[in-house]
Amino acid sequence: MTPLKWFYSFLKKYRARLCLGLFLTTCIAGLSIVNPYISGIIVDDVVLAGNYDLLPRLVACLLGVTLFTGILRFSYQVTFETASQGLLYDMRGKVYRKLLEEDFAFYNRRRTGDLMSRQTGDMDAIRHFVAAVIYTVYQNILLFAFALLMVFTVNTKLALCMLVVLPFTAVATYRQSKEVKPAFQRNRNCFSSLNAFVQENISGNRVVKAFAQEDYEIEKFEKENDKFKNSQIMGSRVWMKYVPIFEILSYSLTIILMLYGGYMVIQDEITMGDLVKVNGYLWMLNTPLRMAGWWVNDIQNFITSVEKIYATYSEEPRVRTPRTGGIKARIHGDVEFKNVSYRADNEDIVTNIDFKVKAGQRVGIIGSTGSGKSTLMNLLCRFYDTTSGEVLVDGQNVRRHDLYNLRDNIGMAMQDVFLFSDTIEGNIAYGRPDCSFEEVKHAAVMADANHFISALPEGYDTIVGERGVGLSGGQKQRISLARALLKDPSILILDDTTSAVDMETESYIQTQLGKIQKNCTVFIIAYRISSIKDADMILVMDGGHIIEQGTHEELVARGGYYAKAFHNQYGEIPYALLKEQNARRKSG
């Protein structure tokens, strides 16, 4: 599908309304020829011939046409405006839904500000086209044609003379449209880039302040601002170059009429009334010539915007729900990674991952930073698809599960906590908006969040700022944990969820986690041994591989990476004791 066909698929719904609008526009264009015609009659029959009794009827006609034209103009403007708003409503909704469907890879590549520009500036260019450009261009083409026709009825030679300017206008319009297109594309790119820059800096404003980088950011902003200004100026230069050409062409019509038309009156080839008549049509001929350049701009702006929005819209997510559709049901919770590898940007992220977890088991994942722990969970949630191997949930490849059902059964407290600017209650109940307050509170108690939430002046009704501003790191983590727990998931993923809470709180949370549904499979990613040591299975990751796998005791006995981490965190004595215990167990 081409971008314009895609645009037409939205326009189709408003075809009837637009046709009505165009019909009204045609009526106005038709009525526009009446007043100059009557003016001609007034000059010839009333002023020159002295038929004064005709005057009241002719004036009434003039007033009637003017009033009727006003009503029609109002009606078609309302028609086009409502059609444009309706079309934009549909398009914005569809593009937004598509944005929600896009996968992680899409958002990794795009800047938020860029995507925002698609939904704001580009959409507005489309609205302007539907609301104003369509009827203006159509009306002026009609006015030009009707006026020319009327001039032909007055005198063919005069009309042919006036037609001479048309080929020049056509050439100028064509050349301007060719030159202005790249200028508009540059403009929209610079606008997107400026938007993205401002958005990023406002979001990251705390980092800028912390590093006292205001001057550096202002300098960077000025560069973006300059780029945008220069692209605007360069664009303006293109069409400014053509403005005098269109003006000259339009005024040349007046000159032709005054010189040649005046000469014809003197030669008695046309009457004085005819000259007044043609003079009355002059604006209908002039305006399209003068405005042609601006309309070319508007149309090119519209085309560029449609192309940009469509380019974003048409990008298909690689992670999709199977066409056959999976079954929507509660997942049991068995998880298996079968020789799973994942590559991104020609780099191995995780390689040959093999493990099997039964429903209800608890799995701890530990390993150096960047070793691929979060990636494993991203593959389980199908935020990315594996490059090779299979991730099985309940014995079925996640690719064959209904994507939304799979994620609906997973509760995830992400490493990078994101809270919405909503109340604390709204944030916790995000996965189950219709649950009761008691359930929200229960989840908060389990996450050890109830205590601090209740101490806030507005309790659960406290609005947390964008991204949870106003809360401490540990508080945000506990709200995020409560949000995951409230979903009552079959698989619970806690990615570094207790890293910012003190040991006592963590121990409380561990106890609470022991109370959750027996058949909930839990994955805990942590750096602290205390967070994972009671797990049924611990995976130790390094460089995208599982280098060790087993229970706490087994791994300590092995004396590898895990044992070293345990030794570093717990000191010599418990480590030595454990070693001794293991030795005794083995010999006994």
Q: Please state the closest distance from residue 506 (CB atom) to ligand ATP, in A.
A: 17
If binding is defined by CB under 6 A, does position 39 make contact with ligand ATP? no
* Nearest distance, CB of residue 494 and ligand ATP, angstroms: 13
Binding to ligand ATP, residues 411-470 (CB under 6 A): 415
In angstroms, the first-to-last Cα distance of the chain is 74
- Residue 370 contacts ligand ATP per CB under 6 A: yes
* Residue 25 interacts with which of ligand ATP, Mg ion, none, CB < 5 to 8 Å by class: none
Query: Any bridge partners for residue 21, and if so which?
Result: none
Instruction: Report if residue 364 touches ligand ATP, rule: CB under 6 A.
Output: no
Report the residue number, 261 or 372, with the smaller CB distance to ligand ATP.
Answer: 372
Give the binding range for ligand ATP (CB under 6 A) out of 74-82, 112-120, 308-316, 366-374: 366-374
**Neighbour tally for 345: CB within 10 Å:** 6
DSSP labels for 218-252?
HHHHHHHHHHHHHHHHHHHHHHHHHHHHHHHHHHH
User: Residue 380 or 486: which CB sits closer to ligand ATP?
Assistant: 380
Window 50-69: residues binding ligand ATP (CB under 6 A): none
User: What whole-number distance in Å separates Cα of residue 447 and Cα of residue 509?
Assistant: 6
372 binds, among Mg ion, ligand ATP, none (CB under 5 to 8 A by kind): ligand ATP
Footprint of Mg ion on 406-425 (CB under 5 A): 415
Question: Toward ligand ATP, which CB reaches closer, 161 or 381?
Answer: 381
17: which 2 tokens?
């309304």
**Residue 226: CB partners within 8 Å, gap ≥ 6?**
none
Query: What pairs with residue 588 in β-bridges?
Result: none
3-state secondary structure 351-370: EEEEEEECCCCEEEEEECCC
Nearest one of 135, 127, 518, 481 to 295, comparing CA atoms: 135
**Would you say 111 and 204 are in contact if contact means Cβ atoms under 8 Å apart?**
no
Of 93-122, which residues contact ligand ATP (CB under 6 A)?
108
- Tell me how far, at minimum, the Cβ of 351 lies from ligand ATP, in Å: 11
Q: How far is CA 316 from CA 193, 312, 435, in A?
A: 23, 9, 34
Site for ligand ATP in 305-344 (CB under 6 A): 344
523's enclosing H/E stretch is strand 521-525
Binding residues with ligand ATP: total (CB under 6 A): 13
**Nearest approach, Cβ of residue 289 and ligand ATP (Å):** 55
Contact segment (CB under 5 A) with Mg ion among 14-22, 76-84, 373-381, 479-487 equals 373-381
Nearest to 180 by CA among 3, 308, 303, 5: 303
Of 215, 345, 504, 572, which lies in the binding site for ligand ATP, with binding defined by CB under 6 A? 345
Q: Which residues bind ligand ATP (CB under 6 A)?
A: 108, 344-345, 349, 367, 369-375, 415
Q: Which residues bind Mg ion (CB under 5 A)?
A: 374, 415
